[in-house]
Chains A and B, each alone.
Chain A
Amino acid sequence: MFNTNKRLALLIGIDDYGWTGGRLYGCVNDASQLSTMLSSDYKDRPNFNCKLLTSDKQKITRSVLRKEIDNLFSQEADIVLFYFSGHGVENKNGGMLVTQDATKFDEGVALNELVNAANQASNVKEIFIILDCCHSGHAGNSVVVNHNTVLRSGLSILTASLPNQFSMEVNGNGLFTQIILDGLNGGAADTLGVVTAASLYNYAEKILDFWQQRPVFKAHCSEITPLRLTRPRLTRKELYKLIKYFKTEDFKYPLDKSYEPTEEPKSKRNEKIFSYLQKFTSAGLVQPIGAKHMYFAVMKNKCCELTPTGKFYWKLVKNRKI
């Protein structure tokens, strides 16, 4: 579906720390599972070309992480995604991604450095930064402008928690990453199965409790880019029938018994149309008028019409936007 040479993802997971913060248990899992999820779409077609670095396979030091970040943002690509799961710390200048060789006052790579590299990556159209670590909400904020966020066009940041908050681990996964995985698996998808950064944030924000950590979303975008395709509720081919049956947005499609296969008179043509109308109904695009179900609408010679969401997709099909 996508040209994976143009969609690159770097995923980092660190469990093994000698540092005061102590060992973690879910980060290698997090990065590995997210890598698998992002690599392909629901039909196993390639999605992101993923590079996975985890502390069980290699030592992730400050210099390794820096090199990888520098390398990532030097690429020529449509989309670059950076993911980190591990320890995070904060100091007066902002937050830091903690590396395995962390020492006091030299914990790892500053979020400022990461976001600056992203802001300056001129060969990459869109960048997504996803961080599941404590204090990750600092990402993008700058002391120079009073801790407000500085973002270039095309950059979106999703973080597990507020600048001053900790991020939790549960059952061998980061809580935030677990939610992101569910969202990417279809929970955050629209009718066509598309998951975007905004839909993913909306999903995570709703699932997370206000008493737990609060995720942060920062974005500056001129389009909404799919992060992953999941199983659509309707195929495009099915969706294109919308404008065939509904000549206008407000058209009321009249039904009668010939549409229902179990009733007389029989009409093969109408039964086929009805099977599409039923699919539209199940996807929330069409609703019967004056009857609870399409079945009753047919039996009582009522009509069906487009729902508000149905009108949205009708316009997209009509104007050839999908």
Chain B
Amino acid sequence: MISEKRLALMVGINDYNWKGGQLYGCVNDANGMTDILSKNHDKSPNFHCRTLTSDKDEITRRSLRKEIVQMFNKHADIMLFYFSGHGSENSIGGMLVTQDAKKYDEGVALDDIIGLANQCTTIKEIFIILDCCYSGHAGNNSVVNNNSILRKGVSVLTASLPNEVSMDTGGQGLFTKILLDGLSGEAADTIGLVTAASLYNYADKILGYWEQRPIFKTHCTQMTPLRHTKPQVALSKLYMITEYFPAEEYHFPLDKSYEPTEDPRNGTNEAIFTDLQRFVSASLVQPDDEQHMYFAAINEKSCSLTPLGKFYWKLVKSGKI
């Protein structure tokens, strides 16, 4: 399914001697994100992940910088960087805290990471996902009044506002738990695609205003799927939409032969009706002047495309999906 090169670097740090103290969910977070991003719902490969966790690796300022520099030297279509651990801030911006953190030398500056991302010419699209305190700094630049600077193809998704603390609940970062639910399908569209924007929309809704506030920054020229989940309608079925509806505004006439419990019986029409019902349950088709398709068939009414149905009709018609 995915012929492009999709790479991900996942980092999770629990073990800190730093004053911020030990964390408990970050290794789980990084492993959980690795599991979900490695494969699509049909087990086809998605991201090729490199995962560094503090239970197995020593993640120092030096080693993390090395990993990040090497990451942005790769040739790839998509690179995803994920970090779960402590974050800190100073008057210049935010930092990802490494295990060898000391005061005034806490780890890797978000400015450095964004700077490398913005300068990277070998990777088409870059997604940076941060579940740590003060992560909202990522992309902001003190030189331009803390507005954010992004090159084309860079998107940043962070757990909290620049001055906010992210929460670690029950062995998992709250934000990452939400991302995992979203990536498993709750943030997917009709054909099962989860994108950075749909994931942010999902997290934005789930997180209230009293909890941490996630941030989304993007500069994109397309919406790239981060993961394929189970579609509401299989593509092979979806392609039938233009067969059943020759025009966008077409009203498909129904009668009793479509409904399997009624006479006259008609196998072909019953099969079509099964597909139409599938479209109804994906909000693509609606019965006209009736509550249910059953009554539309019994009372010889019709059914038509919903606004969402017209969208997918156009995509199928023009060969975009």
A interface, CB within 8 angstroms of B: 119, 137, 140, 142, 144-146, 148-153, 162, 182, 185-189, 191, 196, 198-199, 201-203, 205-207, 209, 214-224, 230, 233, 275, 278, 281-284, 287, 292-293, 295, 307-309, 311-312, 315-316, 319, 321-322
A189 touches B204 (CB 8 A): no
Can you report 27 residue pairs joining A to B where beta carbons are below 8 Å apart?
A: A119-B145, A137-B221, A144-B144, A145-B144, A149-B149, A149-B151, A182-B311, A187-B308, A198-B197, A198-B198, A198-B200, A201-B197, A202-B189, A205-B223, A209-B320, A215-B221, A218-B150, A219-B218, A221-B217, A233-B283, A292-B277, A293-B277, A309-B232, A312-B181, A312-B206, A316-B205, A321-B206
Determine the distance from Cα of A228 to Cα of B206 in the docked complex, in whole angstroms.
20
* Other 7 A-B pairs with CB < 8 A, given A282-B283, A284-B283, A319-B206: A145-B149, A146-B151, A196-B201, A207-B320, A218-B219, A220-B216, A282-B281
A189 touches B307 (CB 8 A): yes
A119 touches B147 (CB 8 A): yes
- Interface of A (DSSP majority class): mixed
A319 touches B149 (CB 8 A): no
Given A119-B147, A198-B201, check contact A307 B232 (CB 8 Å): yes
Q: Does B314 contact A (CB under 8 A)?
A: yes
A309 touches B186 (CB 8 A): yes
In this complex, the interface size class of chain B, counting residues with CB under 8 Å from chain A, is: 35 or more
> Which residues in B have their C-beta under 8 angstroms from that of A196?
201
Determine the distance from Cα of A321 to Cα of B207 in the docked complex, in whole angstroms.
8
CB interface residues, B 128-143, toward A, < 8 Å: 136, 139, 141
- Interface of B (DSSP majority class): mixed
Determine the distance from Cα of A282 to Cα of B308 in the docked complex, in whole angstroms.
13
Q: Does B195 contact A (CB under 8 A)?
A: yes
Residue from the set B147, B282, B315 with the largest chain A CB neighbour count within 10 Å: B147
Using CB atoms, name the residue of chain B closest to A204. B223
A150 touches B148 (CB 8 A): yes
> Which residues in A have their C-beta under 8 angstroms from that of B219?
140, 148-149, 216-218
Given A202-B197, A205-B222, A308-B184, check contact A295 B294 (CB 8 Å): yes
B201 touches A148 (CB 8 A): no
> Which residues in B have their C-beta under 8 angstroms from that of A119?
145, 147
